[in-house]
Amino acid sequence: MRRIAILRALICKLQIIIADEPTSDLDEENSTAEIRQLLTEIHQQGTALLMIIHDKNVAHYSRKIMKMSVGRLFD
């Protein structure tokens, strides 16, 4: 289902994609790597990505990481 949601976003050629936990609930480690690679390629083609994640392993692939605490964002 996650792959289909990402595919729908790609078809529309959006300027920004907001992804809430795009790698959660995936069955295999390979699926996580595939989604991460796909999002990297999308970004390299000029689409901005805003991801909400809790997985620190995925977060380190980001250019900028911000944390949220009590409803406030911090660098």
Contact (CB, 8 A) for 35 and 10: no
pLDDT given at position 29? 64
In percent, the amount of the chain with pLDDT more than 70 equals 91
Q: Tens digits of per-residue pLDDT, 25-60? A: 776 666 778 878 888 888 888 888 888 888 777 777
Which residues fall within 8 angstroms of residue 30, CB to CB, at 6 or more apart? none
Beta bridge partner(s), residue 18: 50
Confidence (pTM): 0.69
Mean pLDDT in residue range 65-75: 88
